[in-house]
A and B are shown apart, each in its own frame.
Chain A
């Protein structure tokens, strides 16, 4: 969905006083209003990068609303978040927006004076009000009844999306027990690491490397297994780089990366010490090592 060519950057809150609330956004024109507007163009994909509190969720909510006004069923729009909390926050905002009464005359959002802390806080925002009005009309015409059935809004974490995909193609993922998804798989990672250590001697290709690693781990097998478990938990980050790759190519790549890291670190060191204390040849030697 994302298109790296379309990257909208919104300034930090300090640069854009008052951007955090919709009410202020109407009173103080935003310096990046055109970029925000651009990000609502549903014909294109965007990556929005901005600091916390600058209005990313609000922008995403508006984009969701914009898309909602154009589809036949609300399930056709999908929003993915990393955390449940973010999904919850976004769902709340959408439900709140869709349920907000809009004035028929001037298309402004009404504030419920008795609504307490949870009541919508928006003041007049004709653009958003107009969008909500359009969605409400569209929803009514299509019989969506979103206020009574907000589960129709497809807002979920990436894990939930994966689970949904697996459940729709169950026979393609026969080894996945969808009824027993572990929220905290650490124990399973550790068990897998234990199995590896216990049975490494049965596989000659594993025995020697494991001995080398244990030598570095002070022959502490428990610690070594914990390291393996940690690696398993982050396998999405490293597995694609090493799986099915030639050993020599991989070794060269790793050494090159290590060379870069050491070189960059050593560049930082000389300014911290007197020039007479630094032996440049020694530093080069370290890099070569």
Chain B
């Protein structure tokens, strides 16, 4: 029998499909043949062939380890001799595979060359012994085991293949060659990929039918964009293609050396660029086959559904406290059981926790709030039940356990929390993939000593990282986006080689740190020497040249990139820069229609909430006003390490309200001794801080935070009172007084911080601020600081002084405007002899702003050249970056 062996599964699948297609079609007409049956070809990836061969041997009892299982066993070995790192275990596993491929003895004297190689030798010996003891065998050791058996009992080796063709191999490992010879199989390479072809002089090879273009791009995004347009242009015109999708048509291949790192970007750009073709494709009834396919997949651990599971499993390690982001993610995740029932309550709970502004929360904090039946808005009994069950499990965790037992506990924790709480296909697939990983870990549990929860979680994380998840793999899609070695051996219509620069083709040599360098170079191991890398990549490019008639190579060149175009492939066509290929897709371009509508529905109510902030937001940017006060697009409260700015502002206001409630005027203030003043202030501060935080559970460091804040306020406000003493005598006639203002027929409410009547019968309207403000903002339109103007037009007496008292530790100031500044005191207010007229102007300006709000004005027009956008949370809604990049 004959067999075709490929280096990877993708090529085996492609060859099988191409063979079946060839047999199904009449090559001349492209029409189906009459013969409907033919034998399946024996095409297998090397690993499958080796596994099958090993398992068919008599008296073989060892279980074959997967790559993930081998890695975890290696980690177990390494941890016994040296601190473990992910990189160490990967490199040691790689060294182990190389030793087998090149039939090296790791106990040879060369391995005593340095501490690294010696360490590897010790670990490899231990790993080998461990495998024997537990009846395990790694994939790397299969050829040697099969060969040993074949040499011991040549008559009963079970390989039935007599002819073997190796397709897609750029080089053949020594142990595989030895195995094929030992099994007396007549093997040969696919002619086109024969390593001997590497010795051809690439420059002088004459292939008249091959055309090569190259293009240079300013960045990776531009390169991906150009590749997508180029691939779109290579698709056959639909009018010429009456056959079933992909029948007889070879794929268009796009090769990226770093496909894993760029997967997301590539997928986004190709989806966008091919959108038009996709519409056409669907109209022709081919929606089942996408236009492009990206190989591999994302690591299972990076999928959002996995992310929630990982967060849940990390909870037992957090000592019953949670980072605020983790906390809000879990509470509002639809992947936790009971979400659909408690959706509103959970989001309200999350918002209430956010309002506390803390960086960490304890389980008790969360459960107290979530279990509070007196607050139905935030009552989440199912969530509480899940958390209590989780707490029960985690409180009884043993210090050490077997990996299998930990996997059962992991599974139990996830089930307890109701993960993944979804019935759609992706959630089912991910759940199954997790079960597969648990199963894989469980099967090697006996071979690993009991471990801590953290180590088991690390092993799980490693396995999840190495397990690739792809929702759908479409090897029949007309555009195939592949990694470097995946494309070898697949004939194609056209081939795009991306990042074809001197950095990637070939990369710098990087020998394995755990194998003697001389040994690696002598055996021409991968990445061992510059000579080997250059030869390998020369051969790789030569192989690509045999697979197609049209190659396009691209690379990025900019200030930060030292790379230039790789010279291993001579170009026959001129340079193009930054995707001149875009023009190819023009014929299919669908025109997008734009409807510009900058007004929402008119506001018809007679009252509106928001008062000062509404007019401030509307004046800053009409869209901001509309989004925040009509759409309720309110920013969620930020977490803070200490007190939030809002808390500080509220405290200052309430303390001063309380203080001036006791000390009614300047005369009384002056009459107090310094000690009396301090005592009153201390008492007021204590009262207000206690009241303000009485409804919140104490957070970490709360005692220190409040104690320091109390001291700070004492010092700050004593300095402020000293400044008040220097003013013209006054009496506080109103504190935090509520007012109603009607603008453009809509009622707004506001609260004036303080109204003073001075001894000269003039009135001062005062607003406390903890940030700096300039009086000039009162004269620039639109009014982005409308508070004082609103105060001025809301009272029914003539205003003489209109001011902010700035209360900052580094700066206590009185800023504002005055009809007669000298009568206020030594504090300098900006003189404005036309203040009554100015107040009328403010009234007009505020009315205009309110009129715009009422009309639903939502156009994006930030003041100050877009300065407020730097701190605005609405950019994803207004998309100003797209309008003004």
Q: Which residues of A contact B (CB under 8 A)?
A: 73, 75, 84-85, 87-88, 91-92, 95, 143-145, 147-152, 155, 167-171, 173-179, 194, 197-201, 207, 211, 214-215, 218-222, 224-225
**Contact string against A for B residues 558-578, beta-carbon threshold 8 Å, 1 for contact and 0 otherwise:** 011110101110000000000
Contact assessment for B564 and A167 in the assembled complex, using a CB-CB cutoff below 8 Å: no
Which residues of chain B have C-beta atoms less than 8 A from A177's C-beta?
Answer: 85-87
For the complex formed, measure the closest distance between the CB of B802 and the CB atoms of chain A, giving whole angstroms.
Answer: 28
**CB neighbors of A among B80-97 (8 A):** 82-88, 91
Interface bracket on B: 35 or more
Binds A, one of B135-143, B188-196, B500-508, B850-858: B500-508
Which 7 pairs from chain A and chain B are nearest by CB?
A221-B642, A174-B83, A221-B641, A88-B562, A91-B562, A151-B508, A219-B708
For the complex formed, measure the closest distance between the CB of B96 and the CB atoms of chain A, giving whole angstroms.
Answer: 15
17 residue pairs of the A-B complex, CB under 8 angstroms, read A73-B530, A88-B562, A95-B502, A143-B531, A144-B530, A147-B567, A149-B506, A149-B533, A149-B534, A151-B503, A167-B510, A171-B82, A171-B85, A179-B86, A197-B701, A219-B705, A222-B642
| A214 to B359 Cα, complex, angstroms | 18
Which residues of chain B have C-beta atoms less than 8 A from A88's C-beta?
Answer: 559-562
For the complex formed, measure the closest distance between the CB of A208 and the CB atoms of chain B, giving whole angstroms.
Answer: 10
| A224 to B83 Cα, complex, angstroms | 35
Q: Which residues of B contact A (CB under 8 A)?
A: 78, 82-88, 91, 116, 119, 359-360, 502-503, 506-508, 510, 513, 530-531, 533-534, 559-562, 564, 566-568, 640-643, 700-701, 704-705, 708-709, 711-712, 809-810
For the complex formed, measure the closest distance between the CB of A74 and the CB atoms of chain B, giving whole angstroms.
Answer: 8
| A92 to B561 Cα, complex, angstroms | 10
Option from A73, A150, A175, A176 in Cβ contact (under 8 Å) with B502: A150
| A167 to B711 Cα, complex, angstroms | 52
Chain B CB within 10 A, most for which of A168, A201, A207, A221: A221
| A200 to B705 Cα, complex, angstroms | 12
For the complex formed, measure the closest distance between the CB of A176 and the CB atoms of chain B, giving whole angstroms.
Answer: 7
| A169 to B360 Cα, complex, angstroms | 37
| A227 to B508 Cα, complex, angstroms | 40
Which residues of chain A have C-beta atoms less than 8 A from B116's C-beta?
Answer: 169, 171
For the complex formed, measure the closest distance between the CB of A82 and the CB atoms of chain B, giving whole angstroms.
Answer: 13
| A144 to B530 Cα, complex, angstroms | 9
Residue of B whose beta carbon sits closest to that of A155? B562
Contact assessment for B705 and A174 in the assembled complex, using a CB-CB cutoff below 8 Å: no
Given contacts A91-B562, A198-B641, A219-B708, A174 and B502 within 8 Å (CB-CB): no
Contact assessment for B534 and A145 in the assembled complex, using a CB-CB cutoff below 8 Å: yes
| A198 to B119 Cα, complex, angstroms | 41
| A198 to B362 Cα, complex, angstroms | 13
Contact assessment for A221 and B640 in the assembled complex, using a CB-CB cutoff below 8 Å: yes
For the complex formed, measure the closest distance between the CB of A23 and the CB atoms of chain B, giving whole angstroms.
Answer: 23
Given contacts A171-B83, A174-B84, A179-B87, A198 and B700 within 8 Å (CB-CB): yes
Which residues of chain B have C-beta atoms less than 8 A from A215's C-beta?
Answer: 708, 711-712
For the complex formed, measure the closest distance between the CB of B323 and the CB atoms of chain A, giving whole angstroms.
Answer: 9
Which residues of chain A have C-beta atoms less than 8 A from B711's C-beta?
Answer: 215, 219
Contact assessment for B534 and A214 in the assembled complex, using a CB-CB cutoff below 8 Å: no
For the complex formed, measure the closest distance between the CB of A152 and the CB atoms of chain B, giving whole angstroms.
Answer: 5
Which residues of chain A have C-beta atoms less than 8 A from B567's C-beta?
Answer: 147-148
| A201 to B568 Cα, complex, angstroms | 63
Contact assessment for B88 and A171 in the assembled complex, using a CB-CB cutoff below 8 Å: yes
| A57 to B191 Cα, complex, angstroms | 49
Which residues of chain A have C-beta atoms less than 8 A from B91's C-beta?
Answer: 170
Extra inter-chain contacts (10) besides given A148-B568, A171-B119, CB under 8 Å:
A75-B530, A91-B562, A92-B564, A170-B87, A171-B85, A171-B88, A178-B85, A201-B700, A211-B708, A220-B642
Contact assessment for A151 and B506 in the assembled complex, using a CB-CB cutoff below 8 Å: yes
Option from B88, B510, B560, B705 in Cβ contact (under 8 Å) with A221: B705
Which residues of chain B have C-beta atoms less than 8 A from A171's C-beta?
Answer: 78, 82-83, 85, 88, 116, 119
| A91 to B704 Cα, complex, angstroms | 56
| A171 to B119 Cα, complex, angstroms | 9
| A198 to B639 Cα, complex, angstroms | 13
